[in-house]
Amino acid sequence: MRQESIEHLGQVKTAILETTGNISFYYYPDSEVSYGLPVLPKAYQKKNFDIKKKDIYACTYCGETSELNSGRYRCQRCDHEEWVNAINTTRLT
Ligand SMILES: [Zn+2]
Span from the CA of 82 to the centroid of ligand 1 (angstroms): 8
Give pLDDT, residue 57: 98
pLDDT tens column, 8-48:
999 999 999 999 999 999 999 999 999 999 999 998 999 99
Confidence of residue 66 (pLDDT cuts 50, 70, 90): very high
CB–CB of 39/6 below 8 Å? Answer: yes
Span from the CA of 65 to the centroid of ligand 1 (angstroms): 8
pLDDT of 93 higher than 80: no
CB–CB of 36/88 below 8 Å? Answer: yes
Element (H, E) at 59: strand 55-59
Q: Which CA distances in Å does 71 have to 35, 58, 74?
A: 20, 15, 10
Q: For the chain, give me the number of helices (H) and strands (E)?
A: 1, 5
Largest CA distance in the chain: 45
Span from the CA of 49 to the centroid of ligand 1 (angstroms): 13
- The domain spans of the chain are 2-85
pTM for this structure? 0.88
Percentage of the chain beyond pLDDT 90 is: 90
Span from the CA of 7 to the centroid of ligand 1 (angstroms): 19
Span from the CA of 85 to the centroid of ligand 1 (angstroms): 14
Span from the CA of 84 to the centroid of ligand 1 (angstroms): 11
